[in-house]
Amino acid sequence: MPQETPAAKAIRLLGAKRIAATCDLTTDAVWKWANQGAGRVPSKHQPAVLRLAQDKGVPLSAADLIGVA
């Protein structure tokens, strides 16, 4: 079973709409993170995604976002 990419995990836990609104992006742009660029969340958006996860009580860490096991 392939490992879940950082972007896919963030989208699964937080939702593309919520992430897009938080980062002032379209949902299409957020989905591109998961489908292109090795599934990484761009570094400039990582702090906002982490704040969103913390605000929502979602277990998503900085290590999750950068893909560190």
pLDDT band at 9 (very low <50, low <70, confident <90, very high): very high
pLDDT band at 42 (very low <50, low <70, confident <90, very high): very high
- pLDDT for 68: 75
% of the chain at pLDDT higher than 70: 94
Alpha carbon distance 3, 57 (integer Å): 23
Residue 36: the pLDDT is 86
Task: Count how many Cα atoms sit within 13 Å of the Cα of residue 55 in the half-sphere of its side chain.
Answer: 10
What is the pLDDT at residue 2? 63
Q: Is the pLDDT of residue 64 over 70?
A: yes
**Which position has the token pair 């993170």?**
33
